[in-house]
Amino acid sequence: MVNRNRVLAVAMGCALGAANLASAGILGGTARFEGPPPPRRPLQMDADPKCAEIHGGKPVLSEEVLVDAAGGLANVFVHVENPPAGTHAAPTEPVRLEQHGCLYTPRVQGILVDQTLEIVNDDDTLHNVRALAENNRPFNLGQPAATAPRVKTFKIAEPALKFKCDVHPWMAAYLFVMEHPYFGVSAADGSFSIPGLAAGAYSVVAWHEKLGERKAQVTVGADGTGAVSFTFTSLDGAATPGGHSQ
């Protein structure tokens, strides 16, 4: 499996150039869930016996809301709403969406306009990849086991483009098609970082598939660092304020 941190680092290097990276800073932060996390339900993988076999008959839990023991919230897409001026060429390193264990991996990620997306089937079973695009052209691809990756690019920015599998209805993933590289996705502990930002004031948006959006105003200081945290507290999907800079 391709290391996502390495892919992001390559993307940043291609988009910004070594000289800009040397003088730019990093915005770091956390996404947290406040209160008891919602229970994860067992997925009913009876649509395809191959999927249950892959997991050795063990239960597989839903991934919509992943909260660790300390309240860290995974799979939050964080991006700068008012990025620094400039254009950003598509990185040559592709972004990968893997079908592994009858689940999409990663569940949430970003890609630049015109950057290559490779869709990979790691499973010994047929998958169907349906992209529910609105700004870009939607597509619906069958992908049998042991076939070459499907390759796609996107011409227009689009938030939260959903992928689903018609064969395995529990499968879902989200791709943000971006015009700039100033974004990140929270890890299992809720942490994220957005490198390459010059000193200045920014509006930062955090999105979660079930918990909605949070926004915060953040300053990256002259020392090249900034921090922000986002707190999610409900399952209503409402877009409400809930972030603060540190």
246: number of Cβ within 10 Å: 11
pLDDT of residue 34: 95
pLDDT of residue 24: 65
DSSP 9: H
pLDDT at residue 227 greater than cutoff 50? yes
pTM of this structure: 0.87
Q: Which one-letter amino acid corresponds to residue 152? A: K
pLDDT at residue 5 greater than cutoff 50? no
Task: Give the Cα separation of 175 and 138 in Å (integer).
Answer: 13
pLDDT class of 235 with cuts at 50, 70, 90? low
Task: Give the Cα separation of 138 and 167 in Å (integer).
Answer: 18
Task: Give the Cα separation of 78 and 241 in Å (integer).
Answer: 14
pLDDT at residue 172 greater than cutoff 90? yes
pLDDT at residue 191 greater than cutoff 80? yes
| CATH number, domain 4-245 | 2.60.40.420
> pLDDT tens digits for 83-100?
999 999 999 999 999 999
Task: Give the Cα separation of 29 and 229 in Å (integer).
Answer: 5
Strand order in the sheet with 108-112: 108-112, 172-178, 158-164, 127-131, 139-143
pLDDT class of 236 with cuts at 50, 70, 90? low
28 phi-psi bin (left φ>0, alpha ψ -120 to 50, beta other): beta
The position carrying tokens 């992908």 is: 143
With a pLDDT cut of 90, the percent of the chain lying above it is 83
pLDDT at residue 141 greater than cutoff 70? yes
Give me the chain's average pLDDT, please: 89
Structure tokens of 172?
Answer: 């879902």
**220, 228 contact by CB (below 8 A):** no
pLDDT of residue 245: 56
HSE-CB at 68 with a 13 A cutoff on CA atoms is 14
pLDDT of residue 57: 86
Give the residue-averaged pLDDT of 91-119. 98
DSSP letter string over 123-150? SSS-EEEEE--SSS--EEEEE-TT-PPE
CA-only gyration radius of the chain, Å: 18
- What length does the chain have? 246
Task: Give the Cα separation of 203 and 81 in Å (integer).
Answer: 5
72 phi-psi bin (left φ>0, alpha ψ -120 to 50, beta other): beta
Give the residue-averaged pLDDT of 159-174. 97
Which of residues 224 and 71 earns the better pLDDT score? 71
pLDDT class of 47 with cuts at 50, 70, 90? confident
Structure tokens of 89?
Answer: 């060429």
pLDDT of residue 8: 43
pLDDT of residue 72: 98
